[in-house]
Amino acid sequence: MPYRNSSEWRKCAKNRKRAILFLFLSAPLRHCASFFVFLLLLCSAATAAEIDPIKIALLVDGMVSRGAGYDASELHAQGVEGLAAVLDHLLPDTAPPPPPLPPGPPEEEIRRLIAQLDADEFRVREAATEQLIARARGRKPLIEEALASDSTEIRFRAARILASWESYPATRLSAYLSGFWVYVEGIADPERLLLLARRTVKAFEKGMPEGDRLHLLRLCIAGVAHGRDDASCDVLRPLLAHADVRVAALVTETTGAYKTEPRFLPWLLIDALASDQKLVVELALRFVVGCQDDRRRARVHQSLQAVFRQSDEALKFQACLPLLRDFHDSEAWLYVLQQLKSNDAGRVRTALNWIGDTKNCGEPADGRFMQGMERFLAAGGNQRRAAVQALGTFAGESVARRLMGLLADSDSEVARHAEAGLLSQPDHELVKLLSNEAATAEASGSVRSRIQGLLVKIQQP
């Protein structure tokens, strides 16, 4: 330890760089070596905002030691500069280039300071070291030359000076992932989200990452999506055109999975629907279901219709789910009903599930739908039963009258679906009126009994 007593340490601690160097020299070896390297990195890349490098380093090191239990509140308090410092450590290749080096001091002055690295007084050695770190980067060959000095102290300090100018990427990214996500998940301000998005895009310039770097960048994308900020999500949009389709797929899937709020749909997912890569479109189709973003619903509907009308049958079928659930699209409804005649058992099962799970939308059916439905209502078996269920997802007098007529159907499943469709109609008074009319006109006692049962159920809360 170079400090002779605690008084000397307290005096030197007033200077931040001296404190960093002291920690580097005196900390126990059991601490992670990457932590010391990070201190040097922060010391050499201090920002104009003057954040505390030691505090940042300790906070980032806590991601490793605490994992999912990491408390990110202090790191959040460091703002944009804190996030930049974290990314400089974990993704150093994405850091902006350093400003041009100022002209170095004269060679004679550098050689004089190098000689002082071996001075008898510790304070002189430290002062010379700090001056060389701050001013001699443009004279790097002279510092490298000092590595061959006969003096052990000069060699040691020259190595320290050179190390302070280098970037050292984290070698154990996996150890940071849990704590990093705790931190990134809490980022909500536009300034930090933009920085995170820009550094993420920069990281993909080298292509598709692998291993821990892939997991880290997935968390970066997730953090941007979780922030629900249009501007930062827009920064990621160019990745959809990346030469490696895996990058486009990664950003689509991760953004969709982590946007979390149904009332927020980033443009990136709408762009993905128009991708010329089938995989990207398939992923986007998963995450536009349930769209409640009123600003973009019309555009989403247009994009889904474009997918539906293209030649790829698999994509056309997948586009039907959001078209049914969110937009009650007549063409999609009729197409799904057609699939019940498919030879693909999986497709038939999926179509039946979609129909059975779709609830009444409270909206009237258009003429195309009602006209097309007659063909399916005239069919038999599953197609007819499914058509009745589909009819019950819409509202209005024409729908209710058609369902009322199906209460008398000889197929008990058809009659049951018709009753369910009538019970789901938002206008109960209309259903009561039509029920009374039908009961008066109906000759069959069993049908009248069924109508009376319907009226009883409507009266119930």
| Per-residue model confidence as pLDDT tens digits over 412-422 | 999 999 999 99
Task: Provide the domain count of the chain.
Answer: 3
Residue 38 belongs to some domain of the structure: no
Q: What are 165's strand-pairing partners?
A: none
Please check whether residues 132 and 260 belong to one and the same domain.
no
Over the chain, what is the mean pLDDT?
86
Point out the domain boundary residue: 302, 327, 352.
327
- Specify the pLDDT at position 15: 42
Stated pTM of the model:
0.74
**What integer is the mean pLDDT of 414-441?**
90
Point out the domain boundary residue: 327, 357, 381.
327
Three-class secondary structure assignment of 260-319: CCCCCCCHHHHHHHCCCCHHHHHHHHHHCCCCCCCCCHHHHHHHHHHHHCCCCHHHHHHH
Please check whether residues 351 and 441 belong to one and the same domain.
yes
* Share above pLDDT 70 across residues of the chain, in percent, rounded to a whole number: 86
Please check whether residues 350 and 367 belong to one and the same domain.
yes
What's the residue count for the chain?
461
Q: Are 351 and 415 in contact (CB under 8 A)?
A: no
Residue 298 belongs to some domain of the structure: yes
Please check whether residues 386 and 335 belong to one and the same domain.
yes
For tokens 């050292």, the residue is 168
Point out the domain boundary residue: 327, 357, 384.
327
Residue 405 belongs to some domain of the structure: yes
pLDDT band at 50, cuts 50/70/90?
Answer: low
Please check whether residues 321 and 446 belong to one and the same domain.
no
Which is more confident, 46 or 268?
268
Please check whether residues 353 and 317 belong to one and the same domain.
no
Residue 398 belongs to some domain of the structure: yes
pLDDT over 90 (residue 33): no
Please check whether residues 266 and 388 belong to one and the same domain.
no
Please check whether residues 308 and 365 belong to one and the same domain.
no
Highest mean pLDDT among 1-5, 236-240, 341-345: 236-240
Residue 131's domain spans which residues? 98-164
pLDDT band at 121, cuts 50/70/90?
Answer: very high
Please check whether residues 209 and 319 belong to one and the same domain.
yes
Q: What are 395's strand-pairing partners?
A: 364
pLDDT over 70 (residue 204): yes
pLDDT band at 215, cuts 50/70/90?
Answer: very high
Alpha carbon separation from 55 to 75, 80, 95, 235, 320 (Å, rounded) = 9, 15, 20, 30, 53
Please check whether residues 211 and 321 belong to one and the same domain.
yes
**What integer is the mean pLDDT of 251-261?**
95
Residue 241 belongs to some domain of the structure: yes
Please check whether residues 213 and 300 belong to one and the same domain.
yes
CATH number at residue 136: 1.25.10
Q: What are 364's strand-pairing partners?
A: 395
- Specify the pLDDT at position 19: 41
Residue 176 belongs to some domain of the structure: no
